[in-house]
Structure formats: structure tokens, C-alpha cells
Structure 1
């Protein structure tokens, strides 16, 4: 059973994670609105203030976001949640900002936030009322989208409360997507339907992010409960469309140690990092956690997969995320109430064999080396977080191998052993010949015949674009990443090397396609 006893530790415990054991020390097509190419960073008032949102709170929070270093660390959105309006629309059917909470209206607040170099978010629901009983947007999608655009709103959190009038989740959320697109303003669209209505299938084409669960609360039980629901969602995420396990409770009911673990894991999950604490009164420890740019960099790096759980040993877990440069981010999680040693290895996290690896501790901000062991003494309800590089995983510069398809048991092959530009890649019985022998370079190329590179034809990004060979030219369509799960990502297209139709016959051509995790997209180096 997962233990959930809280251990209250002081802020100094942030730095007490023991160092790593060192040798010397696919989803549906994403919504194309140009937003959310990496997960969004910001703040929302609900977790700390509920309905007590005001003009002054939003302005003061924007001030603090800048003065605390959060803005320079990448936080952008200052988001207003429920209860911001009057209880009824005006005579023209428009939403009206609360006269007591926002006496100067929302546009004045948006102008102030924009003046700080930040962006403003608003809230509504895909029903007739919001969760707190205020007027919502079902049936008024275009009217409301146009109004928010006129105010200068940059972000919409769209909840799932109120009467749905018999309409499906997909219908209700798509209606607002289309209204935002016609509003004349770029507005980030965050779906909040709590993981219901099979949103994993239609969410990526509808919003920039979508909630995967119910609401989070400021306690360890809630954080770990939501964490346990995330592995099944990993395949749906990608640039422009992100799984959202709900807002951060860092510094809001959690101990500093729990907050550090929570932030590490949400970063590894490519989750939106939306702070939910009172920024104006946060402790130095909370600020240090929220502004750790090395951890934020893991969140903002799209390496072909969001992070996922690799090992579950009951109360200790190992979570990993492939990074774009071939390294692997690792979180060692201790769900026990007392300090425990948590260990893994370079080979277990998919980095293959080498004489040594570099290890960066993202919380101690120190670097070291290891021959393969990765281990930390982790406090109760805590985590250690590293980026490990080296070996022959990810970008295995200089290593040579064949790629055997797991679904077909045949090798990636250049048709007819031709060396002509444009010759297509296919699968064929593995034979050890030169047209099945690839060399990975530090530039991310997969070279064959020495001077030819595997190439996504024409630099295309659409599903089904052919893969061929061409003179190596350093372009993005010749960069491939070998992932720890066996997939091979075409970096520029952010799609996987795919045996067409999951066929297994000799001569079946290879193309790029949305990553699905199926066997026809998995390859073993031989």
C-alpha cells in the first residue's frame, strides 16, 4: 500500500538529498493555433483564494511574478478563475465583470498585466453555469469569445460544470474552440473536463491542454493520487497539446520536501506549471522551487515523449523522460514517510553501455560522473532529480547498428542497396549488408554508406511522408532521435518512424506517422 503520512521538514531539506552515487564523487493531431508549443507556465488564483479574486489581487500577483524572478524563469500567464463576474448577464446578453471585485473592468486589469510583460487568463465553463453558480458560456460561445478578445484576454480555462443541455463533451468544447478561433485574438485554450468523455482522443485537436483528473488539493494524498493516474495518458501529449494533471500546490499545504517532489514530477510529466499559492507571501523555499530553471528546462524540453513511470517498487518509484539531446531526465521518488535509498542505473533508464556517464543534480546544481549507478538517499515524501547523459542511448554518436522492427522482425533497409538520392527506406530480412547498417552521429543523423543520411522526404511533416536517403546536409529533416522505448523520432516533424500499415512483408515502405507506441513503430538496435 502506498503510504501517505506527511513529514514536515524545514526548507533546508531542499538541499539534503544525498548526491548520486558517482565514480568520482500519437495521438490525435494537435490544435494548430500556434500556442502552447511547450507547456504553459503561470499562476491561477483558485487554489489559494477560491471566489475571493479581485482587481488588486491580480495586479499584486503580476507585480510579484516579476519581482520574484518567476517571469524571468518563464512564467507568463496570470489567470483569473471562477466568480469574477456578476451573477447575471446584462440586457444585451454579455457577461459583466463584478462591480465590487473589478470596478474598472477586466480590460483595465489586462492592460496592467500586459504592461508587466505578462498575459491575462479568464475562466468559464462548458455549461450554463460555472462551478460556483455564475453564468457560463454554453450557447454563448461566440459572444463570450468576442468579449474576452475585446478585453485583451490571452488564456481561457474552460470548466465542465453546469447544465450541459444533452450535448457531449466533445461538442461543447469544440464549439468554444471554434469561437476562439473566430474572435480575432490568439487565446490559449485549456480544457478542464476532468479527464471525462474520452478527452484523450479528441482533446489534442480541440485544446492546448486538457485535464486528466479531478481537482488537486494541497496534500500529499491528492498529489500522489493524481500522479498514479498519469501513465495512461502519456501518449497523447505533444507540442501544442498537453496533459494537465491540474495546478501546482507548491507552498500551498505541502511541506517543502513534498513541494519539491511535486514540482519535479509535474515538470517531468510535461504538465502545465500553473502555480496555485499566494505569490505575495510565499517563503524563500517555495520561491526557490518555483524558479528552478534547470527543472523548468526539463518541462519545456520536448524530447518526443512526456515523462512516465519506469519502475514501481511500491513506495519507491523511478520516473524518466527522454530529452531532445539524447540525455534522460530521472526522478527518484520516495513515497515512504521516512528516508529511503532509491536507485536505478544508466542501463535501466535506457542509456545503454558505456565506461562513464555524466550526471547533473537539478536541485543541488552540481555535476558528476558515474559508471552506471544512480542512487540517492531521498527524504520521506521527497524526490531527487537528475539529467543523465552518455552511453549509446538517444544520440549515440559514432555507434553503428541495424534497426530491427519489433513488429516485423525485419530490418530497416535502403531499397535495392541503391545509393541514389531519394531511394526509399523499407523493411527486409536482416542480412548485415551495408544498406541495413546505420551510424548515428552527434548531430542526430542516421548515416548509411558514409555520406548519405536517412531523410524525411521534402522536409514534410504530414502522416505518411516517405523516408528515404539523401546527401547529408545538416537540415532538420535528417535528424532522428533513438528513444529509450524503442521508437525513433523524426525530430523536425515530431513523428515516429513507422512501418506502413503495420505490415510485415519484405519491401513494406517506411514513413513517418503520429507516435502510437505500437510495435510497427518500435525498433531494436542489432
Structure 2
């Protein structure tokens, strides 16, 4: 009897025994703040190989991204080979000739973590081998390779119950014994925010992103969405987000063809909404503007604030919106969004406004409590004791950090 078959039989037996225990769980120590990393899909789709992944890990370090907190290098669809006779998944030997364990070791040697993609169906979205019926085998395989993150998609899932499908993979990951962040990629079809807090560390709230400001890209049976449509689909979801369980607005398109102003707004919005920040560009040849946006420490600090509160829309004036995110130490982040195609000037008399967040239980009477503010992108400074007049470019944002006086 081969060692691999012995491993298979032993693991299945252990899974059956452990399956009878009271309650499996996810690894609760992970994703206390939204995860920061990179994913291959937006730029490379199925064109993935081990040399490119090594170069991407190198670039995450050399670009300064690792230094400011990014840690995950995630390989999306198409790394898969066939399953062996015992049902264990193999890598595509042509594109990953050294094997996934060697690649994981390389990524770890850079002080980073590595993630893989699979699917709740029998096949992935690109037609590779999915995990249905092999959840425990796949989880123990990933653990043996040193994987730190699992993105779990939702293709080929007709007649499958999403709650049980995702719970099964959660249980398999937990039983495999290696902490792996579990990213639910179910596109929001079955409202995972209502049931997945104890299942995954994040869940997608929409279909796939597309690198545009305000568009829908129709694929026939499904659509990809621009920045504003994805933002608008977050309405009503903020109460479900918090440390260890985040609303995922999808991987970012910063550096993938939008304007610099749109990229800055995109990054700032994802940050203040407490979404995971997973870059989707080619890290090896970023422009200085793209690098500056992705490594902007003040924006990352807002996203990584330990309170873990997703921003609320405070003021809505059509094409002009203001979002507020409570932060630690009584501070707040305030984002001014200009959705329109022309620049605008906005005036805000703080003293005439009141902010109350019923979910996080924060409130501000601006006529009674004063704050100093700083624009985190321009470093302009001011006080809420004075009326604010702010210029916001087309498709742009201004972001202020408020500190109690």
C-alpha cells in the first residue's frame, strides 16, 4: 500500500472521527484587520507560473508593499493539474515544475504568505479540478504544501447548498491543522453576510470587478462592475463587517487602466469601507503613481484600524457623498467622494452637522466637540471649528483624518 494511499485512508478516518465532534470552526486569530495582499487573476487570468509568482513576491518586497503591511501572494485559478489515483490534487507540472511546496517555501523565505484558489463545485471557473467531494483531501494537501490562504469560488455549483458547501471546506481547513485564511468568493448571490461570520474571514459581496469608474461589463449570464456600482452594492451591509469577518469588495484594479485620480479614489474607498485590500496589478512594473497609491501609509492605517468599523454614508447629495469611519482613540476618517465628471467645490459648516452611527454607537456633535483635521493625501490641515471649503476633482476623493482637540 503506497504512502499516499495510507495518508488518504488515515486522513479520511480522522475526518470521520472529528466530524462527530461538537463544532468545527475557522481560525479565529486570522484577519483581525482586513487582509492585505496580491492576487494573480485581474492581470494574468490563467497565465500563471512559478517564475512569475516568485517575481511577484520579490516585487512585493522591493516595492515597499511588504514594509507597509501587505503579506499574501495569492495564486488564483489555473494552477491545477489532474488528481492522482487516490484523488489528491496535483499542480500543473508544466507551469509549476518545482511543485507548490517549493514555491511556498520561496514566498515564505521573503517573509510573505501564499494563497491558493479552489472552487466549491466539481470544476473551477476556468474548468480545472474543483474541490467538491475532495474538501478534506485538498485541505490536508494545502497544509502539507504550506499554504496560508484559500480563496474558494462558486462556479459549477448547481443544486449545491452554499452554507453547507462553505462550512465543509471551513471544517476541512480547520481539521488540516494549518491556519489558513478562508476567503469566500460566492459573489453575494446567497447573502453570505447573513450566515458566514463563523465560516469565512471575508466574503465577496458582488460579482467581479472591472477596471472602470462607473460601468457594467456584461458577459451574458453575469456582469462585471466598476468602482461605483460595487460601492453602491454595499448599502446595508456594514453591520455584518468586523474583526475576522469582512465584506469583500473584490480585488483592486489600481494600476490597471483607470486614471490616477480614479485609482486613488478606488483605493481610498476600499480602505474606508474596511474591505480586504488585494492588489490585482503587475507589481513588477508599477508606475511611481501606482506604487505611491498602493503603499500610502495613512490610507492603509484607516483600513487597518483595529476598531474594524466599516464606513457609513453620512451625507448624500447625489453625485457628492460623504462617508465617515470611526477609528481608535476617538478619531474619525471622513471621505468626500465626487462621483461626477467635473470637479466640484463643497462647503461644510461642521457646527451645523451631527453624526450618529447606530451600529458602532459613535456620535459627534460638531458644535460641542472640535477636531483638528489633516488631508491624508495633500497634508493640508485645518479645524472643524472653522467652515470647510473643499475642492474635489472629478471621479476623485478627499480624505480627512479627524483628531479630537
Query: Which TM-score tier does this pair reach, normalised by the shorter chain?
Result: 0.7 to 0.9
Distance 1:178 1:47 in 2: 29
Residue of 246, 259, 278 corresponding to 2:282: 278
| Paired position in structure 2 for 1:40 | 35
Distance 1:380-1:127 versus aligned 2 partners, 3 A rule: same
Q: Classify the secondary structure of the residue corresponding to 1:317.
A: strand
Mapped pair 1:49 → 2:44: yes
Distance 1:229 1:163 in 2: 23
| Paired position in structure 1 for 2:149 | 155
Contact 1:260 1:289 (C-alpha < 8 Å) held by counterparts? yes
Distance 1:253 1:320 in 2: 28
Structure 1 unaligned spans of 5+: 1-29, 392-526
Looking at CA atoms only, which structure, 1 or 2, has the larger radius of gyration? Answer: 1
RMSD: 1.5
Distance 1:343-1:118 versus aligned 2 partners, 3 A rule: farther
TM-score, normalisation: structure 1: 0.67
| Paired position in structure 2 for 1:377 | 391
Q: Point out the structure with the larger helix share.
A: 2
Contact 1:357 1:372 (C-alpha < 8 Å) held by counterparts? no
Distance 1:231 1:342 in 2: 24
Q: Classify the secondary structure of the residue corresponding to 1:149.
A: helix
**CA offsets per residue over residues 137-191 of structure 1, 9 Å max, x none?**
0111000000000000000000001144x33100100000000000120000000
Distance 1:236-1:169 versus aligned 2 partners, 3 A rule: same
Distance 1:234-1:252 versus aligned 2 partners, 3 A rule: same
Q: Classify the secondary structure of the residue corresponding to 2:402.
A: strand
| Paired position in structure 1 for 2:116 | 122
| Paired position in structure 1 for 2:67 | 72
Q: Classify the secondary structure of the residue corresponding to 1:252.
A: coil
Residue of 103, 110, 118 corresponding to 1:109: 103
Mapped pair 1:262 → 2:266: yes
Q: Classify the secondary structure of the residue corresponding to 1:210.
A: strand
Distance 2:389 2:308 in 1: 26
Distance 1:328 1:205 in 2: 28
Distance 2:134 2:390 in 1: 54
TM-score, normalisation: structure 2: 0.86
Distance 2:323 2:228 in 1: 13
Distance 1:31 1:361 in 2: 38
Residue of 177, 180, 193 corresponding to 2:186: 193
| Paired position in structure 1 for 2:213 | 220
| Paired position in structure 1 for 2:9 | none
| Paired position in structure 2 for 1:334 | 338
Residue of 348, 353, 362 corresponding to 2:376: 362
Distance 1:361 1:66 in 2: 28
Residue of 246, 253, 265 corresponding to 2:250: 246
Mapped pair 1:62 → 2:75: no
Distance 2:157 2:277 in 1: 30
Distance 2:254 2:173 in 1: 31
